Amino acid sequence: MNYKQSKILLLFSVLTLVGCNFSQGVIAKAPQQQDLQTTPSVLLSQRNTSNSATLLTYKIETYDSQVMGASRTYGVSLPPGYEQNPKQRYPVIFLLHGGHGSPTDWFNQSKGKALKTVEQLYTTGKLPPSIIITPDGNDKRGSSPYRDPEYIDGPNGKVSTAIGDELVKVVQNRYRTINNPNFWAIGGLSSGGWGAVNVGLHNLEHFSILFSHSGYFNDKSGPANSPISYIKTIPPQAQKRLKIYLDSGTSDIDEIAEADRFSKVLNKLKIHNSFRQFPGSHTWKYWREHLANSLVFVGEQFRASETARMADNLTINQRKKTKNN
């Protein structure tokens, strides 16, 4: 059997194993991270009929930020069955707000309505059950309609580190997360779209999936916080792990031009990306309608990483078995 045939057989074996396990109901072996490396995951399941009718809720939580020197908040929505499956771990999605925003914006019924979108994606199996986090992206100046938040480590606070590293560790400590950057995504809208890509690129040890709705990629603070420039400084091995989704409304002339230029840079660097244009403008109506597009992309990356992980584990186990024989 040649190498290609062997890999095909391994993939078929993984999918068969996953199908069998999900038909019987998935139960993780233990909450420890090392056990997850050999445990079938809910990431590869299709719709879960027992949880599909579950209405999602969210809470606003508080933590003491050493980086910002103040108490900070974030919103959190846990996946269906989280309390009933205490040994299961989950991927994580950060959603950043835009200018004059707050951690409730994405959940607000008059703004993002994110939970309705997520419920639909869970029901149809297009997004694996995930922990949804909405950070406070405002710097020490607070929220104002006259300026955008600064998703950087700058004179008004180390917001990039506060969200991309400190809050990540808070979430990892408080919830059952899969602590692997292939299962962490960060995205946002408008200045939060730029912020998500900027924060993600500066914290690649935590995130590998980035997405932006109506964002920009060249910031006035300089090239260190301008993804279109900064991404060229990232080592090639780190670039290969990145998966980036971009979209913008066709009426958003400046933003769509920025996304187009950034996508061309990504293509030149051979970084996996998807750039889409939809009718619409810089409004909550547009972002509500197209959050599903980015989250479907995120779900595809989660599943691809899980399939690769299980194939690798099967290969390792087969090698061990051959060696022992």
Domain coordinates in residue numbering, the chain: 50-305
Q: Measuring CA to CA, which residue among 255, 161, 240 is closest to residue 202? A: 161
pLDDT reported for residue 202: 98
Strand-pairing partners, residue 157, are 154
CATH class name, domain 50-305: alpha beta
pLDDT reported for residue 3: 43
Q: Degrees (nearest 5) of the Cα angle 267, 168, 221? A: 55
pTM: 0.86
Name every residue whose Cβ is closer than 8 Å to that of residue 108 and which is 6 or more positions away in sequence: none
pLDDT bin (cut points 50, 70, 90) of residue 54 is: confident
| Count of positions (residues) in the chain | 325
At residue 104, does pLDDT exceed 50?
yes
At residue 136, does pLDDT exceed 90?
yes
- Cα torsion 225, 299, 91, 80: sign: positive
At residue 32, does pLDDT exceed 60?
no
